[in-house]
Structure 1
Amino acid sequence: MLAAQYSGKFTVTNSAGVITLTQVTNGIGGIPVLSVTKTAGGTLTAAATTNTAGAEATYADTYTTYVFGEGAFDFEDIGAEVPYEMNRDPKTNGGQDTLYSRQRKVFAPFGISFTKTSMASNSPTDAELEDGANWTLVNDGNGEYIDHKSIAVARIISRG
């Protein structure tokens, strides 16, 4: 009977007439209070009368993990105003040509769009990128937003 009452919180063992309740998880579960009575025939009966709630352990550190599904990020080559440029230096090595190449690329999470509503310059600062008010779900232009569950990004916060 005790084993059924404390299933998942305590293990109940009986050895040589001694009933032992052992807490299953560290810091979670509580303290059982038993009422033991002796019958006229000498049989001891134990029953749970109360169960004081346990205290969950506190942890100082938490760790944040991000899990990305396939296609979680979109990549675009947005080009540069002057993508290629030549420079000739006639005094180096009997004349040396150098080709400069510029590329501008953007990586963005699929399904989320940066709104640019509160940008101070042409490029957002880290603080502007961190501000959730600057991001919105992608829509089709008519106000129909995609389902947020189709965005293949998950955050897991675990204890240290």
Structure 2
Amino acid sequence: MPATRIADVIVPEVFNPYLIQRTAELSALVQSGIVVPDSQLDELAATGGTILNMPFWNDLTGDSEILSDTTPLSVNHIVAAKDMSRLHTRGKAWGANDLAKALSGDDPLRAIADLVAAWWNRDRQKMLFSTLKGVFATPSMAGNKHDISGAAGSAAVISATTTVDAQQKLGDAADKLTAFSMHSAVYSKLLKDQLIEWQKDPVTGAAFAAYLGKRVLVDDGHPNAAGVYTTYLFGPGAIGFGNGAAPVPTETDRDSLQGDDILVNRQHFILHPRGVKWTEDSVTGVSPTNAELETPDNWERVYENKNIRIVQFVHKIA
């Protein structure tokens, strides 16, 4: 009996939507509400082009005027502005040897999809950290950054007090922050300080770690060097996500001479921090690399600081 081939279990029309669903299900950032799939971004990502315009209206400004029977009210205007995101076009190919374990499962399609979805999940988290590095290196984002790493003693260390100071970067909009994303060493420090509690998700009933009443996500991809760590505070929908339409998202192949089955998966998508415009100032290829995402010249804040639901908190743990 011939061996099962990838082409025997992968039907692209079935695999592609299933892969999208599983990637979202496996993403802690999606489950926490930090990264929000957006149907409007889906449409933008499928329209063609690499720079995608997202116009918005600035808030109304000024003070009320005293009514008079001789002096008319002055006419003010609402001003439009434009956020811009970048379409990412990326792909990956795997040989059958890498997926051999998956093919032995009871449901090969699910097993393969889980492996591929988990890989894309990890890869997008790396992209997000690179994006945040570039975004917070821009001078315009100073209002959303709280760096205490250069202070003396305990003033440089994350604690309930210093974290409240970080939240305060958004002023009266601080209640928009609902989650922390941190390195495992930071999480361990807060555990030792007995500042981590457990709460239940009201929808799923699943327990999750919380710090100062906010959900905690742990990922060792967070920047850390010489004892200095970067923690992020997020609000819901801080990162917008849209699935595009790669012309051939999934295909399989067979290298008969090598005896290898090959699975190719391509993704077109938007992964964008809302309110910080992509400028395309320094990109050499058809899609930005992670290093180019980290380049501050490629980003420019267009929302008011307190309307950007992200705060970067740079600190020590001892």
TM-score by length of 2: 0.24
User: Could you say which structure has the higher strand fraction?
Assistant: 1
Q: Normalized per residue, which structure has more helix?
A: 2
Kindly name which structure, 1 or 2, has the bigger radius of gyration based on alpha carbons: 1
Q: TM-score, normalised by structure 1?
A: 0.45
Higher relative contact order (CA 8 A, sep 6+): 2
